[in-house]
Chains A and B, each alone.
Chain A
Amino acid sequence: MLETDQFKINIGPVHPSTHGGLHVEAVLDGEIVTDAIVHLGYVHRAVEKIAEDRTYAQFVPYTSRLDYLATHLPTLGYVQSVEKLIGVEVPERAEYIRVIMAEFSRIASHLIFIGSLAIDLGATTGLIYCMRDRERIMDMFEMTSGQRLVASYMRVGGIAQDLPDEFIPAARSFIHDLPKMIDEYEGLIMGNEILQARLKGIGILTPEDAINYGVTGPNLRASGIAYDIRRAEPYGIYDRFDFELPLGTTGDCWDRLNVRVAELVQSARIIEQALDQIPEGETKAKVPRVIKPEKGLEVYHRIESSKGELGYYLVSDGGEKPYRLHVRAPSFVNLMVLPLISRGGKLQDVVANIAALDPVLGESDR
């Protein structure tokens, strides 16, 4: 027998497929990964510390920058937790617009997921197709907030401004075209046998492990557990919409991809219902100029972000700034299972696993 040696290789922090500054220290035996150690913190911006020095309203734009791929979702979570803290009723129209924007963010984020999974497996063209379609969502964000990537559109008590006239036709035409887009991805990305061979049976996460390690969101549903905070603990007006929870069966990377593709359709369904039901009216509740929650109040509010359970733990000391803000970042917790699902696989599977877990490093490092 040949004498072999373990081989340590650093995937990242500067590497084409780590989605930002992720650093995975892979211990290799040939091409087989015997261990993977995740090092985080390359995009740490001390968001939680910054929050202690900003007023409740000033902090809204920072939240947009947590998960910059689904910009409205982290903002929605934050403003809702502040609203819970001070007990504000949000106008109906604002609630509907929030749902529409949140679901568009989810679609945008999932499109990036599909595209980046494709490009991480070497199918460069897949990314371009997803980006092309995501561009239409970005245009809609620009219409409403003037910003494309980090929109900061939500406000405590409502939204920044009402929808422009051209928004609803654009949204409807996107929803109308979505099945065609998915067909295209089906042909280019999901239908490819090489891609299937690289994803099926790779990075299997059992339901038990998924729950033990606190995995949430599409990754949890890919393991076959029907748990979605929009369904389990509806926030905002999510209890009014009819949608399904796509589930995986084996919890491998292929399921994670398919769950997200199916979620595109479900998000589109929610948007369609919201567009049908949206009432006229105010878009912003009366909120005091200086938000001062009572002393000692605290709230843990969580929403279903495109990555999983995004929670804000907000503690007030009666001042105009949060006493403590903790962000429960789904990417951070989901990344914890990367070593678990990568062990025993090939080096190339690590890349597939990272892409399939869909971490956003801006969120996980905060």
Chain B
Amino acid sequence: MADRAKFIAGVTAGLGRTEVLSPISITETAGFEDAATAKANADKASTDASERSIELADQMAEEAAKAGWKVHRASNAEDAASYIARICVEKKATSVLRSNHDALDQIGVDAAITNTGATLDTTEHSGDYSQDQIEKSKSKAFSAEIGITGVDYAIAETGTVVLHPRSGLSRLVSLAPPTHIAVLRPGEVLDSLDELFAMERNDFMSGELAGSMNLISGPSKTADIEGTTVTGIHGPLEVHLVILAG
């Protein structure tokens, strides 16, 4: 087995050196910006997101539609909840799974869904870390017909919803059910990938980097058969983006 020291020493030798040199960061790459710079960039991104929230929400709607999201601009909380209920009815959903995002509490989606006759479950952690419980969670997600989440961020540049799976937000709720609905509030949209990674970097520098992150830009798709694009290969076949008014 190759041990670390030997492996890396080989690389050092391959580079024509005898010892590892700490790189001088160069300005053309992001380099290792210090914590203060990282925070400044993140603050700039947040400020931008809130100051231009309407413009960014409009851009998000446009780009998300291009990316294959079915976009609904909700006039108010009730409208959002009833849109979601309509989808449950359309899909004849009997089992719906939702995350613990605040946005979903805000629009009072629970009642709207249960009124359709569907069973609603949340990805609330039971505090049980047994393999058995984990299998139960998995089955819940695989058998749900609709998965509903809020967003942690959205990216206007690409029509992307960003999720950081954690307690109360499972990885599978936006992946396993054939339909995924994401509810977006104004102020959650960032301009571009640059702003997202500025936020992520700042989280990292403050020791708070999320365990994982998913960028979702439309329904699952593939073009592996004759170059023909088909939606819904492993992930959701249909994705909805509900954008709440400011």
Asked if chains A and B come from one complex, the reply is no
Interface residues of A (CB under 8 A from B): none
